[in-house]
Structure 1
Amino acid sequence: MTKALNVTPTIRPITQADNAAIAAVIRQVSAEYGLTPDKGFGVADKTLDTLYQVYDTPKAQYWVIELDGKIVGGAGIAPLAGNEAICELQKMYFSQSLRGKGMAKALSKICFDFAAQQGYQVVYLETTAVLVEALALYQKLGFSHSQHLGQTGHDACEIAMIKTL
């Protein structure tokens, strides 16, 4: 059951001013689930503090969710490294205060619409079994298990999933 929020969150494209806040969310959520930087998860990415610059490229975009003036989540779409005909759903993280509120579904729709507008036909992601809620969400969104594709650098993410748009 989805619990309502008292204030409607805003989903918007990332700005350079959001870099530190979304990096803090990703680090906090990763720590909460035991996803440490030394193990090859997204929290270890050298670009974590510069996501605006990372996604300021063709066929890529990152969105943040802002609630009461604070960044509480985000997700992005970018070409899959090593297989640029496929896009990757990347760095989907939500602060605990935002989980279970239906925002992941709303943000996913924005990501999928963008991907389709960019000409992608397939969305790929990598995750880990520790993220039980995320796995359930991805299955509800139509993802199915897949072999690993591309060159994400996230060798600790043992689960690969794919969705046809």
Structure 2
Amino acid sequence: MKLRTIESKDNCAVKTLIQTSLESFGLDIPGTAYFDPQLADLTSYYAAESAAYWVVEEDGNILACGGYGPFKGDGNICELQKLYVAEQAQGKGLSKLLMDQILLAAKDHYQHIYLETTSKLEVANILYQKYQFHKLDQPLPGSEHAMDVWYLRDL
């Protein structure tokens, strides 16, 4: 398995991975990443210096993806974005691999990392708590997603 920065050739496979993952939890609804306008061209979206996105590839197949980008309204906070692992690759440590990379890279640009998720994603919530994300009572101002769980972590 190889962890690398997203390339334009990955855009379609990453979009499919994200949307398939969301569909499996009934989260193919407005207010989720399923309908994010940048989903068709994540390479361009994450090309900014204040953002980054990685994929985990094996034998030409994208097995996992994730990254971070700026959070609206506060230049000290970034947002953990679009961290997904294909069903057939779950349980192999790919979330940890991506999370370690994201946190390491984000601390060069930001002081805090924020994320929004849903209580339906039990395994994801366990991961965030293991990484010492602190659960918030409400989303940060400027949030645009329809999630019901919010976390913040110092970098």
- Same fold per superposition (TM over 0.5): yes
- The offset of 1:150, in angstroms, is 4.4
RMSD, matched Cα: 1.1
- The answer to whether the Cα contact below 8 Å between 1:126 and 1:157 also exists between their aligned partners in 2 is yes
C-alpha distance after superposition, 1:41-61 (max 9, x if no partner):
111111111100110112110
Q: 2:111 matched to 1:121?
A: yes
Could you tell me which amino acid in structure 2 is paired with residue 101 of structure 1? Answer: K
State how many pairs are aligned. Answer: 154
Counterpart selection for 2:19 from 19, 27, 32 = 27
CA distance in 2, matches of 1:92, 1:129: 15
Q: Which residue of 2 aligns with 1:90?
A: 81
Counterpart selection for 1:135 from 116, 125, 135 = 125
- The answer to whether the Cα contact below 8 Å between 2:64 and 2:94 also exists between their aligned partners in 1 is no
CA distance in 2, matches of 1:94, 1:20: 15
* TM-score, L = length of structure 2: 0.95
- The offset of 1:151, in angstroms, is 2.7
Identity among equivalent positions (%) equals 36
**4+ runs deviating over 4 angstroms:** none
CA distance in 2, matches of 1:100, 1:144: 23
- The offset of 1:121, in angstroms, is 1.5
Q: List gaps (5 residues or longer) in structure 2.
A: none
Q: List gaps (5 residues or longer) in structure 1.
A: 1-8
Counterpart selection for 2:3 from 7, 11, 16 = 11
The 1:22–1:150 alpha-carbon spacing in structure 2 relative to 1, beyond 3 Å, is farther
* TM-score, L = length of structure 1: 0.89
